[in-house]
Amino acid sequence: MAPPAGTIRPGRYLTFFILIVAVLYGLVFFTGDREPSPRLGIDLKGGTSVTLTARTPDGSEPTQEALDQARAIIAERVNGLGVSGAEVVLDGKQIVITVPGERGEDAKTLGQTAKLAFRKVIAGPFDPAAAKQQLNQSDGAGDKSGDSGKPGDDGNAKPGDGTKGGSGGGGAAGAAPASAQDGGQDDNSYLPEKTRKEIAEARKVRQSKDLLGAGPEAQRALARALQDVDCSEGSKDPLRGNDDPTRPLVACDQDRQSNGKRLAYLLGPVILSGEQVSDSTASVNSDGVGYQVNITFTGEGNSKWAQITSELAKQSSASPSNPARVAFVLDTEVVSAPTVTTAIAGNTRITGNFTQAEAQDLAQVLKYGSLPLSFETSDASTVSATLGLSSLRAGLIAGAIGFGLIVLYSLAYYRLLGVLLIASLGLTAALVFPVIILLGRSVGFTLDIAGIAGLIIAIGVTADSFVVYFERIKDEIRGGRSVRSAVPRAWVRSRRTILSADGVVLMAAVVLYLLAVGSVKGFAFTIGLTTVLDLVIVFMVTHPMLVMAGKWKILNNRLLSGLGMVSDIGSSVQRSKRKSGPAAARGV
């Protein structure tokens, strides 16, 4: 005869569960770094998180290929920091960089577009503040523009020398890369209207073709461009990643003068781009104090750089008092602007007032290549290790309080059944712990504050499954059945409810994970993970344990079992059935 529905062999289920737990803990202690602790997010152990939002020069949606390439380049830069545990994750149009520990501040510079270009210096350097004052006085016709074509008379101009100073990149000599942009174009449809207007106005003024002309019109155009450029501290250049390489450009110097001001240059169109830089390193400046960046070109880049410097050297020879200069422009900022007096065949270097850290950062940015997209830092946060430890402690305390309240309620209401509930919760925690550790090692899952919140909520979700099962057992006993016969029948009726409830929670977690960004994903992931593990515990532990406990006589003790009142009701029902006779029991 077939066993009643819901009857199982509990020993097999419990043995299989023990084997699963043993395998998981074996993987924890005997694989990977063998560190028995989950990977913690920066909000728990300290570090820096930077979110970069991509934008294209022409305002179109960035392609997936460009985003993947940018993520790979930034990941190489992160690896170059030598920090373990750093992550670079692509999230829609955003790239999220997470760097734990004290080196996290370096992450804030990893999203530089590294758009290196070589432009001929047409005029400068100029003091933009003086140009603005002059424009106000003479409507743009000041004598600053009379320096056009001459190096600035500011004693703090960047040093350089025709044989060693210089910059490197790739591209055709005298020809700029093709661009879809126009000085007044405004097609950045995905950007806010205010930002689009700023970019369009900056292109129109600072990249006007009139800047390359002659006479009063060119002087007024230069004066307007110098008035428009903002070289003050903390300013954001709207042309960063949006300048047109085929047009002239008025750009700020990267370094500050002794008075704290930054100067500006009038530059010609791009004559060589940075795409043909094959390598770059930082070293001590052999001709003076500070550091320099050494650039190695590709084969094509070498020949084009030799051709460019040869033409510039001829111009310097023709006008020794006004030697030709070339500017190394990184993301619309002039890094160095040395003179060129002789042709340079082969590799070159960028000189300037670099500190060791600045030279190394620039060399690293150039070494790993230019990003195919420009990025805007939309969010950057740094958490100290002390604050992270406090957050972790607060999360653990909250979890302990939640678990303690469930323990008290279970013991007060369910008594011996509550002990089984507590044991099931403990086994759930014993299963979740190694799974989180192994997920951290295999797929890089990190546990953050949001994830801990998900685990705390999951305690209640898991307890709900047990409550559904226990209440169904009480219903069966209330109907006149014994504890032993009530358990399998209650299981058949309750498991559908448990599956439905956990299924709804799991679907909600999946939808939240797919639509959410940032730490909310961690919350959704832990909710979904614990829901799945809850089903494992209910089917492989809780039900088998109740099947075994149903045979214990102690559950018939109305004071200890937590089933006293319903047992009394069940006994009354049984007496009523006996008094009514067999016919009444059959419903006749």
Domain regions of the chain by residue span: 19-39+384-580, 47-109, 116-178+189-370
Question: What's the DSSP call for residue 202?
Answer: H
As given in the structure block, the two tokens for residue 308 are 């460019």
The CATH superfamily holding the domain 19-39+384-580 is: Multidrug efflux transporter AcrB transmembrane domain (1.20.1640.10)
Classify 116-178+189-370 by CATH class.
Answer: alpha beta
As given in the structure block, the two tokens for residue 387 are 């604050």
What is the side-by-side strand order in the sheet with 374-383?
87-91, 94-100, 47-55, 374-383
Q: Round to whole Å and give the CA distance between 422 and 411.
A: 9
Q: Which residue has the higher pLDDT, 518 or 282?
A: 282
Whether the full predicted model's pTM is greater than 0.75, yes or no, is: no
% of the chain with per-residue pLDDT over 90: 4
Examine the pLDDT at 164 and tell me if it is beyond 50.
Answer: no
Scan for tokens 């728990």, then name that residue. Answer: 44
Do 19-39+384-580 and 47-109 come out as alike in CATH topology? no
For the CA atoms of 294, 300, 306, 309, the dihedral, rounded to the nearest 10 degrees, stands at: -80
Is 354 within 8 Å of 25 (Cβ atoms)? Answer: no
Type of residue numbered 500 = S
The alpha carbons of the chain give a radius of gyration, in whole angstroms, of: 36
Q: Which residue has the higher pLDDT, 56 or 94?
A: 94
Q: Which of 558, 582, 580, 584 is nearest to 569 (CA)?
A: 558
Classify 47-109 by CATH class.
Answer: alpha beta
Q: Which of 221, 214, 207, 223 is nearest to 138 (CA)?
A: 223
As given in the structure block, the two tokens for residue 118 are 């070589």
Q: Round to whole Å and give the CA distance between 325 and 315.
A: 10
Tell me, what's the pLDDT at 59?
A: 65
- Residue 332 sits at φ, ψ, to 5 deg, of 65, 20
Angle between helices 449-478 and 483-515 in degrees, nearest 10: 150
Q: What is the mean pLDDT of residues 403-432?
A: 85
Q: What is the pLDDT of residues 333-343, one digit of tens each?
A: 888 788 888 88
Cα separation values, 437 from 20, 26, 396, 445, Å: 15, 12, 17, 8
Do β-strands 348-354 and 264-273 pair in parallel, antiparallel, or remain unpaired? unpaired
Residue 573: band (very low, low, confident or very high) from pLDDT cuts 50, 70, 90: low
Scan for tokens 């933009």, then name that residue. Answer: 128
CB count within 10 Å of CB 524 equals 22
DSSP H helices, 36-162, are: 42-45, 64-80, 128-138
Residue 517: band (very low, low, confident or very high) from pLDDT cuts 50, 70, 90: low
Tell me, what's the pLDDT at 511?
A: 92
